[in-house]
Structure 1
Amino acid sequence: LGIGGVRLLRALGLNPQVFHMNEGHSAFLGLERVRELVAEGYAFPVALELARAGALFTTHTPVPAGHDAFPLDLVERYLGGFWEKMGTDREGFLALGLEEKPWGKVFSMSNLALRTSAQAGGVSRLHGEVSREMFHHLWPELLREEVPIGHITNGVHTWTFLHPRLRRHYAEVFGPDWLRHPEDPATWRVEGLGEEFWRIHRDLRAELVREVRSRLYEQRRRNGESPSRLRQAERVLDPEALTIGFARRFATYKRAVLLFKDPERLLRILQGPYPVQFVFAGKAHPKDEPGKAYLQELVAKIKEFGLEDRMVVLEDYDMYLARVLVHGSDVWLNTPRRPMEASGTSGMKAALNGVLNLSVLDGWWAEAYNGKNGFAIGDERVYENEEAQDVADAQALYDVLEGEVLPLFYAKGPEGYSSGWLSMVHESLRTVGPRFSAARMVREYLALYQKGQEWAGKARGEQEVLRAFHQALPAFYGLALRVEVPGDLTLNGEPLRARAYLEGEVPKVLRPFLEVQLVVCRA
């Protein structure tokens, strides 16, 4: 949206009471909403509170470097004079986005969004925790756990990412109206999924192998490779082997080459009694040179170790290929460096199609994994040394592949599939299907919008209180707090009594909002 977006809505006769901002330039809409309210006659502090009441901000990036920030002179060049229309001065305007960096002051778009929103959140439970830590400096008077940033975990649209054959099969098993309420756990009656489900899954794996061969052939032909290399492309992969998919943006923190951390260990797994193969696909951002180098390193390592029949890297990643992979893989591999994955959604899409997740406990998988619905790489530990973390996670990945994934998949009974594997697929569908659906996500956001609408209406009705509140705050901040605790020792389990005094008169308008809390810390 931004400033122009708000003005466009007004020109169209649309007057929403609640605005939802994501990271980046949409945060400028908060400035426009304050300007509108000042034009209606409100003073800047009251206008800011009214605008905040009807605003929600979702952050998506768990590292400070990923948040836009601009030099102050650049902001002044393009927005100079706008603060006058907002009823404030240069300092009051810049304070909304101000961020202290080692090299000087900048204007942070995420700070602006947080300071002009009454509600804020990350996109997974773990990302909410990371965000509270990352933005703690904006609320230094609060404990980290009290920083007003929550979370709503991402979800995916069930119908869109489910293969048509599985849609029909689920309708037969769950009932014809099952897609009306995918967020309802009662919908997912997975016990009825058996031989027919596995037959469909095998067909989808074979379809994936055909697509990989076709794309690899065209890829090599386009690159001018030899006839023998073209013929070899038509024979890669085995439609009956355990197939592990890895498809996402190639960024260094996603660690696509983690598999090659210990090449000898990897080769032992690939040469072992259980056939396993990998399909990699994705793109690096055009300006992400380390990401592009990572992709090249992956291709080089596959060639170096002679694994081109068992490991394929596909170019020209697109939505169609993404769907073929989440439909036809047996396992979905995810190896981010914890806690740098805000949420991730590809694993949710894969799970809907009966694909099991094999992932670091990061993003959405940190709250989805229950020990029975997929596989975890390592634990929830975060290492200060990245190399140590890579080594530990690689060893954990090899251990899980050798000790859990491969033996379980190939423990096939007379029906042609592993009953233990299918039980894990059932648990994955039962837990991931409802909890990580877009329907659940939208309902949770709707509740926040309704709260914002309520707050915005209430704030409008109490504008005089808001004005008096802001006028009284400077006097309140000048008061000294004195705490008296009788004695110097309190035994464990005994009541602790303390008295808190504000040395001065609390303005009357602030008294209803005054709270006292005791924080007990172990020295």
Structure 2
Amino acid sequence: MTAKHYLFEVKPNIPPQLAKLPLLSKDLIYSWKEPIRQLFIRLDPELWEHCSHNPSVFLRRIEQHKLDKAAVDADYLTAYRQTVEWYRHYQDSNGPPNQDTNTLLNPKKDLVVYFCSEFGLHESLPVYSGGLGILAGDHCKAANDICLPFIAVGLLYHQGYFTQTIDPDGNQIATNINHYFGHLPISLLKDDKGNELHCELSLNGSKLTLRLWEAKVGRVKLLLLDSDLACNREEDRSITRQLYGDGMDTRIKQEIVLGIGGVKALRTLGLQPNIWHINEGHAAFQIVQRCLEGVEQGTPFDAALEWVAGSTVFTTHTPVAAGHDSFSRDTMENYFAEMAEQLGIEFETLMALGYANGDDSPFNMTAFALRGSRFHNGVSKIHGGIASAMESYIWPEVPPEDNPLDFLTNGVHINSILAKRWAAVFDQHLSLWQHHLLDKDYWQCIDNIPNGIYWRAHRALKSQLLSVACKRLTIQQQRNACSLALQKSSTCQIKNTAGDILVLGFARRFATYKRATLLFSDLPRLEKILNNPERPVIILFAGKAHPSDEPGQQLIRDIHQFSERPEFIGKIILLEGYDLALARYMVAGCDIWLNTPVYPLEACGTSGQKAAINGVVNLSIMDGWWAEGFNEKNGWGIEPHSDKYGDDYRNQQEASDLLDIIENEVIPAYFERDDSDLPVEWLRLSKASMKSCIPQFSAQRMLMDYIEKFYLPAKRQNQRLGKNKHSAAIILAQWKQQIRSCWPGVKARVIEQSALGIHYGDKLSITLGVDLNGLSPKDIIVECLSGYLDATNAFRLDTSYTFNVESKPAADTEAPQEVVYRLEIEPQSSGIYHYKLRLYPFHALLSHNFEMGFMRWL
């Protein structure tokens, strides 16, 4: 008979001298403030690692005598008091002294709310899966840095995302672990009487109660919703169990809770945001709830939608179809038929807001988010163009390059990802560097850091990475009962961390379009590269595949099998359990960062930004952020090949380019040394990476761009459309209805235009006749676009001119209803000109001239 194990916990008592440690453990500011982390690390470094850098768990596990010793240690107490005083001052301050507050929002009047399905702030709060969540976490941190009036809303997943191990055959084993909330840096929200704060919503005819939790991110709060309450139905208690739970029924419930429940939670707290940011389509159902609030105030649905959309920013993050959730008509009717009645509209009207491919298509959350917002963006310049084309069905008559879907390139939180070794070097050599994160000229001073000091810092970070990799790989192989010979040969390269070895890193989600195995397209050549004893090279791989993504899991098996081939043992290393902690080691300790996506499917790719900020040199397909970041001096770029001859041909060509660069450029740049044994060319590339990427791809730059391009315009639209009981929104909605009714009958023709050639000094004269079909001349804009044809014969706009309305009717008696528009242009120089003529509806209350998607070309 096997004995049963019983568990109990003996928690230490925090000495009064250290009473603020629990407070510091509940503020995620520790994720980027080294002095706070050091207060815990100094008490017990081994326990800190064992607790996965979680201070809440640490304070429950530390031995009492170590706390008592620290309470009388003068040096420790000095550091403790200084940190606590800094923290108090930080909470009371209004941001860095050089912050231009004139460009920001008013904390007494404005509030930005940011919805996302996941937040990657730190490994101690496991409510994230990958890039989307980490970007959301960095957005929150940057909002804290500039004291933006800001709150975030997400879900509190009891199991978070899965924990990954890899078995002896290379299979990914996904394990879900229930997290004890007492171990997380969160607090249960309560009212003045000590009662838990709840909000309620209707879900498929039943009441659903949500519990509200809060995570502190410095000055910013993250509101987290939890459905696991005894008063809820059993199937509803599991809604917030797993991030991206299986099945579309679970997915729509999660998105209802996030969107509708998130709005209700904000109202429970008495909050009235005036700028709403939807980060990916998962939270788009908030639009429905906010429209309902308008309808309940007496505003017609169409006007309520205009008001809601005018204050809403929507960011789409991927061109991959699987990243855009859609729900069947039956599913939508099951959950939203009652809501449509409450909104005073037919269910079909609500359903149509989510159509992406005609009336019989599913309800697409991206389509709905676009129709329910007026400010939209992709996350890089390339992605903005791709997204504009993909989602052009929203604005069917407007060319994709002109439609309202803009771009704003992602950035990363410098203080969270910059290795502390680099921070120490900067503190020594760069004056007040943290106050110059957005100053491109300032960062040229990185060249002032002596090469020897710079190289030693990087070598130390690489040594840390290889030590961590060795430890993790050993644990992995011992668990898998690998032979001692295999264990020894697998770690022989990385165990000798003092050796000079070139480390290539590939760490990201294992999705097929990211092509993790592109390197293996020419195995003999790769074997030659990795087995040169004079110039040793290893490749570190890490990442997870979604449990439902079998092709992605096959990539893991393939890499595992390559890593166990005799010629690659110890040269190709696959690490399990990829998380934020391992990511920090990799983006700081590798020499080269590899990125090989299928163009143009890499929307942004912030891991490469993190690597560049730490001086790791990028070698990437020219996609996502790298197409903007690469300047031919800070790394290597691979121009994507056409898929005209098929995917296999393109992959073969790009793999050949990749291996060419590694063999002929990367390896020489790293191994060719000067008289001081320094890799001068690699150092030049590394410094160029830092100089170019720190100011251009910081989260602070990203957030300042959001404020200027989207948040401030959304604030203005909220003011315009919301005042006087939404009177302006009502006017705009009625005008749009008239445009939709009349536009199909609007016609235009050229009545008269100048000859093909005129002399310099003469004017080009154009007269148009427009049948407005019941519209007023003030309802439309008629334009002439003047420009030129580039080398590819594409039209490039130079100047646009607006036609004037003539008072007299058309001379052509066959069209007496036409309104005459006339334009005269005097060219500023001789030469060949090209022009195009168009008209589109216009109203002063529009957020974007082309938001209706109507346009006529002559």
Q: TM-score, length-normalised on structure 2? A: 0.58
Structure number with bigger Rg: 2
Which is strand-richer, 1 or 2?
2
Q: Percent identity at matched positions?
A: 36
Code of the residue aligned with 2:320 in structure 1: it is V
Code of the residue aligned with 1:277 in structure 2: it is I
Aligned mate of 1:476, from 723, 737, 742: 742
Where does 1:89-488 land on structure 2 (aligned, <5 Å)?
89-100=346-357, 104-175=360-431, 177-188=432-443, 189-193=445-449, 194-237=451-494, 239-272=499-532, 274-304=535-565, 306-379=567-640, 381=642, 385-447=646-708, 448-461=710-723, 462-463=728-729, 465-484=731-750, 486=752
SS where residue 13 of structure 1 aligns?
A: coil
For the aligned residue pairs, the C-alpha RMSD in angstroms reads 2.4
1:411 deviation in Å? 1.9
SS where residue 271 of structure 2 aligns?
A: coil
1:478 deviation in Å? 4.6
* Cα distance in 2 between the residues matched to 1:241 and 1:467: 65
Single out whichever of 184-193 and 36-45 deviates more from structure 2. Answer: 184-193
C-alpha change, 1:267 and 1:488, in structure 2 (3 Å) is farther
SS where residue 428 of structure 1 aligns?
A: helix
CA deviation vs aligned residue, 1:436-472 (integer Å, no higher than 9, x gap)? 0011011111221121011111122424532542353
Equivalent pair of 2:303/2:733 in contact (CA under 8 Å)? yes
* Cα distance in 1 between the residues matched to 2:686 and 2:315: 32
CA deviation vs aligned residue, 1:349-384 (integer Å, no higher than 9, x gap)? 111111100111111111110111111123475657
Code of the residue aligned with 2:671 in structure 1: it is Y
Equivalent pair of 1:378/1:397 in contact (CA under 8 Å)? no
C-alpha change, 1:438 and 1:105, in structure 2 (3 Å) is same
Give the number of equivalent residue pairs. 519
CA deviation vs aligned residue, 1:39-69 (integer Å, no higher than 9, x gap)? 1111122111111100010001112332111
Q: TM-score, length-normalised on structure 1? A: 0.94
Aligned mate of 2:326, from 42, 64, 69: 69
* Cα distance in 2 between the residues matched to 1:376 and 1:46: 48
Single out whichever of 47-56 and 296-305 deviates more from structure 2. Answer: 296-305
Code of the residue aligned with 1:215 in structure 2: it is R
1:491 deviation in Å? 5.0
- 1:80 lines up with 2:337 in the alignment: yes
C-alpha change, 1:464 and 1:334, in structure 2 (3 Å) is closer
1:298 deviation in Å? 1.3
* Cα distance in 1 between the residues matched to 2:734 and 2:577: 60
Code of the residue aligned with 2:508 in structure 1: it is R
1:267 deviation in Å? 2.0
Single out whichever of 299-308 and 498-507 deviates more from structure 2. Answer: 498-507
1:332 deviation in Å? 0.6
Code of the residue aligned with 2:298 in structure 1: it is G
SS where residue 677 of structure 2 aligns?
A: coil
Single out whichever of 314-323 and 468-477 deviates more from structure 2. Answer: 468-477
* Cα distance in 2 between the residues matched to 1:467 and 1:323: 49
Code of the residue aligned with 1:120 in structure 2: it is H
Query: Structure 2: any 5+ residue segments left out of the alignment?
Result: 1-257, 786-834, 837-858
SS where residue 515 of structure 1 aligns?
A: strand
Q: Larger relative CO (CA 8 A, sep 6+): 1 or 2?
A: 1
Tell me what 1:39 maps to.
296
Equivalent pair of 2:300/2:730 in contact (CA under 8 Å)? no
Query: Structure 1: any 5+ residue segments left out of the alignment?
Result: none
SS where residue 214 of structure 1 aligns?
A: helix
Equivalent pair of 2:421/2:461 in contact (CA under 8 Å)? no
SS where residue 216 of structure 1 aligns?
A: helix
Equivalent pair of 1:213/1:236 in contact (CA under 8 Å)? no
Equivalent pair of 2:383/2:407 in contact (CA under 8 Å)? yes
1:234 deviation in Å? 3.9
Runs of 4 or more above 6 Å deviation: 492-495
Equivalent pair of 2:742/2:775 in contact (CA under 8 Å)? yes
Code of the residue aligned with 2:434 in structure 1: it is L
Which is helix-richer, 1 or 2?
1
